[in-house]
Amino acid sequence: MPATLQDILLTPGTKPQVVADCRALVDQQVKDKSGVSAAALKLGYKTVTSFAPSYLNDTIDSMLPEFVQQLESFWADFTASGSARFGDYLAKRGPEVSEALLSVTDHMAGQSERPTIVRAYKAVRGSASKNIEAALPAVGDLVQKYAG
């Protein structure tokens, strides 16, 4: 039986590296956005990173197990399919994968006691699915970096 994403990504020796790579991926995705819709995203991101500088890393660390859980069925199907790149596999299932991942952030926003961060999240939530779909090839590559 192939290794699960939990086995691959959440071990004590690997998880901190995955968190750092996820943060770099988020930073790059935000930086690469352009146009009018990107302005709200960049403002929300700047608000969060200015308001609480360690918040994003801490959030990625705490949410990573839930993201991994949401990706687990996609990973199992991918490994059974014999496909070459997990990023391509995820991109072909963009809306489904995006909504699975957003269920984690929606839940977290609903539980947050930080009104500034909740407002920033609500400001970008409408375009979040599109932004996540655009990042799925990079997400898949990140996973495969550790999966070998």
Q: How many residues does the chain have?
A: 148
CA 127, CA 41: separation in Å to the nearest integer? 9
For residue 5, the one-letter residue type is L
pLDDT at 1 over 80: no
Q: Are 136 and 90 a contacting pair, CB within 8 Å?
A: yes
CA 29, CA 81: separation in Å to the nearest integer? 28
- What's the pLDDT score for residue 85? 96
Domain residue spans of the chain:
11-147
Binned at pLDDT 50, 70 and 90, residue 121 comes out as confident
Q: pLDDT tens-digit profile of 31-78?
A: 898 888 788 778 878 887 887 788 889 989 999 999 999 999 999 999
Binned at pLDDT 50, 70 and 90, residue 135 comes out as very high
Exposed/middle/buried for 135, CB within 10 Å: 0-12, 13-18, 19+?
buried
- What's the pLDDT score for residue 2? 60
CA 44, CA 118: separation in Å to the nearest integer? 10
Residue in the structure block whose two tokens are 């699960």? 4
pTM attached to this predicted model = 0.85
